[in-house]
């Protein structure tokens, strides 16, 4: 699939009218550049649009967020087998979106076929998490703004001027720039999409947003009042002014004339100037805003660090009180927070575990001795299993702050971890890395796709000299590997040995 998966009409299963009991039939689309998800449908046929960069997750099947409205569930037949025995849930696509990881919203769509739902779920997530799109050039973001305006046409098929006015702060300057480009003479008129070309939009921006600082550079480079730079002048600018002189010329050689010429052909739209090996001020401005001049070079977006060192040699992206959405005294706890922090790349998350009440004896997670709400431990483990490795394959460390003093409930916690995480849960030490003092830890690369759990356990001293290792000054506490509980090993540490906690990768629950 390219940027636009093929999808026959789908159902937008939000109820927009209070008295309506029928979802809206719509057609989902993605623009060719992969900037926006948009759809039309309903009585007014208005275009609704969602910035794909704001999509934080996509889900289908049993992982989708089922609609709560009983009317929707009844109309769509949730819980009943559909055609060919396929449950309705299998056709559901949930799009999680928001400006930040706390304030997220959910959009639900139902495809006609289960395979279609899977394709849209996978492809939208790829677009939303594309690292090049997240670090695009200035020109790309201008193209994105242009695309949004082109998509939001009114019922007459024209681009409303009000949408352009909303995009910029100074309305009077916007109106003046539009008139200078001949696009519109009054605010009531819309703009025909065929008239609003990419070149016309760039001309409009040039009239609206003057760049005197670029003009000064242009003059300094040797234009001397002429509306162009020569090939030699541009070459001197790129190789002498732009290039870091400290770079090794063998590994990072200066650009050759042929390469500079290719850049001129890429950014200069005036054919007559290209024939004379010249670039205009407009072409020069486009070059400065192009992918060659992004803040972070594309080659630096890949993992360039050595990930084969012991785990203790790295800093870790960590989250404290992961479950909280707001303040830690009266705030709301949410299972969704565990999904969101993992999707953002966090590799160490905290679970404050407390003993469940007698009626169900289900452990829960909350901020103890406060008025924060509670969330089920099991649901958190399921959310972690779902999202741990969707955006990063590197190991996830679960920091258990374990206040559960019931052996029965601790056993239940252990069982949840073993059954839900499955093979991803690291229980036994790796063969090359036995749990003994001074033994280096496995590297992140060797722990790909693994979930490690750290938890403080009360140290039980035994009379037998073989059961414990003596503590010596300056050494970390001993690892008690005998007597595993349900195949789960223990880690004992002193409060100051925080990094040693990360070094040991067995699971402790009792």
Which 8-state DSSP code applies to residue 300?
G
206 is catalytic: no
Q: What is the DSSP string of 380-394?
A: HHHHHHHHTTSS--S
Set 313, 320, 403, 460: catalytic member: 320
313 is catalytic: no
Spatial separation of the C-alpha atoms in residues 310 and 322, rounded to whole Å: 26
**Helical (H) or strand (E) element with 28:** strand 24-30
**β-bridge mates for residue 38, sequence order:** 29, 49
Q: Count the helices and strands in the chain (H runs, E runs).
A: 16, 14
Q: Can you give the three-state secondary structure of 233-290, one letter per residue?
A: HHHHHHHHHHCCCCCCCCCCCCCCHHHHHHHHHHHCCCHHHHHCCEECHHHHHHHHCC
Crossing angle of helices 377-387 and 336-343, rounded to 10°: 20
Region of 329 (left: φ > 0; alpha: ψ -120 to 50; beta: rest) is alpha
Q: How far is CA 482 from the centre of its chain?
A: 42
Spatial separation of the C-alpha atoms in residues 510 and 257, rounded to whole Å: 69
Task: Catalogue the active-site residues.
Answer: 320, 367
């Amino acid at each position: 699939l390219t940027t636009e998966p093929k999808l026959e009409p789908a159902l937008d299963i939000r109820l927009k009218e209070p008295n309506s009991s029928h979802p809206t039939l719509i057609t989902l689309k993605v623009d060719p550049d992969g900037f926006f998800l948009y759809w039309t449908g309903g009585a007014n046929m208005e275009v609704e649009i969602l910035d794909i960069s704001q999509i934080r997750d996509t889900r289908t099947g049993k992982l989708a967020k089922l609609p709560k409205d009983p009317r929707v569930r009844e109309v769509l037949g949730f819980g009943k087998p559909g055609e060919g025995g396929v449950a309705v849930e299998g056709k559901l696509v949930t799009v999680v979106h928001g400006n930040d990881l706390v304030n997220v919203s959910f959009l639900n769509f139902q495809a006609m076929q289960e395979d279609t739902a899977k394709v849209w779920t996978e492809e939208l997530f790829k677009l939303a998490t594309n690292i090049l799109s997240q670090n695009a050039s200035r020109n790309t973001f201008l193209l994105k703004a242009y695309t949004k305006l082109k998509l939001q046409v009114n019922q007459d098929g024209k681009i409303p001027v009000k949408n352009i006015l909303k995009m910029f702060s100074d309305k009077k300057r916007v109106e003046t720039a539009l008139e200078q480009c001949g696009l519109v003479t009054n605010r009531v008129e819309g703009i025909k999409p065929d008239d609003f070309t990419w070149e016309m939009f760039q001309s409009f921006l040039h009239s609206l947003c003057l760049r005197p600082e670029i003009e000064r550079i242009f003059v300094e480079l040797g234009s001397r009042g002429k509306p162009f730079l020569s090939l030699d002048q541009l070459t001197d600018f790129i190789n002498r002014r732009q290039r870091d002189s400290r770079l090794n010329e063998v590994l990072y050689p200066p650009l050759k004339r042929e390469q500079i010429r290719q850049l001129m052909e890429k950014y200069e739209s005036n054919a007559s100037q290209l024939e004379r090996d010249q670039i205009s001020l407009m072409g020069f401005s486009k070059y400065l805003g192009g992918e060659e001049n992004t803040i972070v070079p594309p080659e630096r977006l890949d993992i360039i660090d050595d990930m084969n060192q012991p785990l203790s040699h790295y800093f870790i992206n960590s989250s404290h009180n992961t479950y909280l959405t707001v303040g830690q005294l009266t705030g709301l706890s949410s299972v969704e927070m565990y999904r969101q922090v993992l999707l953002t790349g966090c590799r160490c998350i905290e679970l404050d575990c407390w003993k469940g009440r007698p009626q169900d004896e289900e452990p829960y997670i909350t901020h103890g001795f406060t008025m924060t709400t509670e969330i089920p431990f099991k649901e958190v483990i399921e959310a972690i299993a779902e999202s741990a490795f969707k955006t990063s394959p590197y190991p996830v460390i679960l920091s258990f702050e374990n206040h559960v003093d019931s052996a029965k409930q601790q056993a239940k916690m252990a069982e949840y971890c073993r059954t839900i995480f499955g093979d991803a849960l690291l229980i036994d030490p790796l063969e090359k890395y036995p749990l003994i003092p001074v033994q280096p830890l496995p590297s992140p690369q060797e722990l790909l796709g693994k979930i490690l759990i750290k938890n403080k356990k009360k140290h039980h001293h035994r009379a037998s000299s073989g059961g414990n290792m003596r503590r010596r000054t300056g050494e970390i506490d001993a690892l008690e590997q005998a007597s595993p509980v349900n195949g789960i090993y223990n880690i004992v540490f002193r409060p100051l040995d925080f990094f040693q906690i990360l070094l040991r990768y067995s699971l402790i629950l009792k």
